[in-house]
Amino acid sequence: MVQKRLARIFALSLSVPLLLGTLAACGAGTSSGSTSNNDVVTIKVATELPVSGKDTSSGKPTENGAHVAVDELQNSIPGYKIVFEAKDDVGSAGTNDPTVGAQNIKSLITDTQVAGVVGPFNSGVAKAEMPDANNAPLALISPSNTNQCLTQENPDIGCKGSNDLVPTLRPTGKVTYFRIATTDDHQGPANADYLYKEANLNLKKAYVIDDTTVYGVGIATTFSNEWTKLGGTVLGRSSEPSTTTSYVSLLTDIASKQPDVIYFGGTDANGGLSVRQQMQQVPALKNTVYAGGDGLVTDTFATTIGTTGGPVFGTVASSDSSKNPNYQKFLDSYKKYGDIGSYSAAGYDCMKILINAIHKAIDAGAKPAASGDTEAAKKFRQAVIDQIQKTSYDGLTGHHSFDVNGDTTNKVITIQQIETVDGKAAWKILKSVTVA
């Protein structure tokens, strides 16, 4: 009797580990990137922005806005954890560098856990990144790219000849790039319309400078074309690379033409700030109106030049997010990251659009890739892209859906001016313009 009981106990002791081993083997391949049903699978979302050097005031607040969205939604998909990864595309010159941006995208593509990217910030960087991202495929959602020819083939808005970019940027023929910023074929003209018709400064003669970048040349051209259509005179046009340190000789020549306004197409880091500072060294230009696009609308620009000299106007390719009822909640969450920027809310909205698309792709049956599984990554990334294309999103920057080119249907421009706000120089929104 004792011997039989011992035999049964011995047999049971052998069967338990065998049963556990069988269960473990059955469960080993049931979830992407995990070895147990209790594991949480990692999905990475990235930003690709200029967050150091001279471009810090543009890119870092945008990255911070995206980070707030990840903070909110990192545990929003059951069984998965959203992990934030940041890339910086600033090069050795201290400004955004298309070559660095392209290298960053290649790196993100090889990481199979990356489901999508918020960025880039600058149109020239987008031009370098888009072909690889399109071939991957990997979604890019830009909060701030505004050059119209990144997505459109329309000679009437300047997208012809060397500016017919879409065949190169979209080699697969499929849309993988999206943006929530209004394009420069609207931003440049909106600035021209305000200055010519509404600023009440009797501005008729403009001189135009660009920084030679894709963005700068594009917005300077659309401003110039609209200014001429309105009946204004464009006295001349100069293209000055970011390596330029002194603009005094150019500005002295411009002064002889007696412009009412100098328009700069480009960013503050690529000459926009230096031109305005050096205008103060040319007596005839000290009080001349200065204007530009969203590349100038940074805290650094406003606080550096202050309110001395002539009026300074800018535009931002987005709505006035401060009027959104959820804006204060966003500000409260953002505080730990520092000062807000012109595209902080846009960075937040882009990241929320991306994470929402990831969630919907998973709900529809798509499986995030395990580390190193290239084929699975391609399938999941395409599923995310498909969901982004279907987006209908109400955010801080307004309602966004995307047209067949990946452009937002929410086309709003804010007109801004540097004024004294709470004791310091800052950009103040004058009006919002909804464009067709």
First to last CA, the chain: 93
Model confidence at 4: pLDDT above 80: no
Reported as half-sphere exposure (CB side, CA atoms, 13 A), residue 228 has a value of: 11
Q: Which residue has the tokens 């995208």?
A: 105
**Gap between the Cα atoms of 275 and 265, Å rounded:** 11
Give residue 267's pLDDT. 97
Count of residues in the chain: 436
Average pLDDT estimate for 278-296: 98
**Contact call for residues 348 and 330 (beta carbons, < 8 A):** yes
Return the DSSP state at 162.
G
Query: pLDDT (tens digit, 9 = 90+) per residue, 205-229?
Result: 999 999 999 999 999 999 999 999 9
- Per CATH, the number for 41-182+322-405 is 3.40.50.2300
Which residue has better confidence, 25 or 328?
Answer: 328
Find the range with the poorest average confidence among 9-23, 55-69, 84-98, 202-216. 9-23
Looking at domain 185-316+414-434, which CATH architecture does it have?
3-Layer(aba) Sandwich (3.40)
Largest CA distance in the chain: 117
Model confidence pLDDT, tens digit, residues 180-196 = 999 999 999 999 999 99
pLDDT digits (tens, 9 = 90+) for 238-257: 999 989 999 999 999 999 99
The least confident of 8-17, 158-167, 243-252 is 8-17
Is pLDDT at 134 greater than 90 in this prediction? yes
pLDDT above 90: percentage of residues in the chain: 90
- Predicted confidence at residue 38, as pLDDT, reads 59
Q: What is the mean pLDDT of the chain?
A: 92
pLDDT score, position 311 = 98
pLDDT on residue 33:
42
Q: Any residues with CB less than 8 A from the CB of 213 and at least 6 apart, and which?
A: 122, 123, 124, 242, 266, 267, 270
Q: Which two tokens stand for residue 32?
A: 């992407």
pLDDT at 85: 99
The string of pLDDT tens digits covering residues 263-286 is 999 999 999 999 999 999 999 999
Q: Is the pLDDT of residue 373 over 80?
A: yes
What DSSP designation does 96 have?
B
Amino acid 39: pLDDT = 83
DSSP 327-369: HHHHHHHHGGG-S--TTHHHHHHHHHHHHHHHHHHHHTT--PP
Same fold, 41-182+322-405 and 185-316+414-434: yes
Strand 140-142, strand 177-179: pairing: parallel
The residue ranges of every structural domain in the chain are 41-182+322-405, 185-316+414-434
> Distance between CA atoms of 247 and 147, rounded to whole angstroms?
25
Residues 411, 414, 417: CA angle, nearest 5 degrees: 165
pTM listed for this prediction: 0.89
Tell me the HSE value of 395 on the side-chain side, using a 13 A CA sphere.
27
d(CA 382, CA 391): 14
380 vs 423, higher pLDDT: 380
